[in-house]
Amino acid sequence: MSPFLGPMPKQKTPSGYSPIQMQGAYSLTTLLNSGYNGTGTTIAIVDAYGSSSITTDVNYFDNYFNLQKHGEYMREMVLGREPIRRTLAL
């Protein structure tokens, strides 16, 4: 059973940008104030090295910043041939 199915204690601060920093960097405040909430939007995380902990990392980030979990996580790996598609539950 995954430890990320329920709330986790905030153990450490994630590295990288916070949701508020990303909101500012991409000027999303105007869109959010206009009622746009991102429904139907796909977000891509590009990981050149195929991290085996990406699902854990995303779940930790969401939990740390109290973000709602929506949709599914799809991992696509391209190794110079046909892409490998895997759908993983959040």
Cα–Cα distance for residue pair 48/65, rounded to 1 Å:
25
pLDDT, one tens digit per residue, over 37-70 is: 888 888 888 877 778 888 888 888 888 899 887 6
25 and 77 Cβ atoms separated by less than 8 Å: no
pTM score, whole prediction: 0.60
CA 13 to chain centre: 16
Q: Which two tokens stand for residue 64?
A: 């740390």
Q: Which of 6, 25, 1, 90 is nearest to 54 (CA)?
A: 90
Q: Which has the minimum average pLDDT: 9-18, 43-52, 59-68, 78-87?
A: 78-87
Q: What is the pLDDT of residue 49?
A: 76
